[in-house]
Amino acid sequence: MARTRPLSPHLQVYRPQLTSMMSIAHRASGIVLTTGTVLLAAWLVALAHSAESYEMVSGLLAHPLGQFVLFGYSAALIYHALNGIRHLAWDLGYGLTIPEVYRNGHIVLFLTMVLTAGLWAAVWM
């Protein structure tokens, strides 16, 4: 019995709260970012290989579906970076009371939307 019990909260019996959802999102975005490094590797290997390979990978990334993937990747990156700063602040002892945790959580979510929108506005302009 002990063997099948996870160390972390049972996700399926845990009532959702901002704090737990943001914690799970931090992990999920981290998994996406680490896995997505394959895309960066593919882009660089194609660039090193030949102009034709590079054009092919660039074409895939420029396709609406490729842009959608890049958009998701950038949102995951910005969320993970901002929430990571929140975690580092906690590690230094700042922002740990319950009202502060909720407030800096909302700030992270708000800035994630603003910066992701700003990034894509900059890319498209």
**Which CB, 84 or 101, lies closer to other proteins?**
84
Q: Does residue 10 bind other proteins (CB under 8 A)?
A: no
Q: 25, 33, 89, 101: which one contacts other proteins (CB under 8 A)?
A: 33
Closest separation between CB of residue 38 and other proteins, Å?
A: 6
> In angstroms, what is the minimal distance from the CB of 18 to other proteins?
21
Q: Any contact of residue 114 with other proteins (CB under 8 A)?
A: no
25 binds other proteins (CB under 8 A): no
User: What are φ and ψ of residue 96, in 5° steps?
Assistant: -95, -10
CB-count burial class (<10 Å; 0-12, 13-18, 19+) for 76: buried
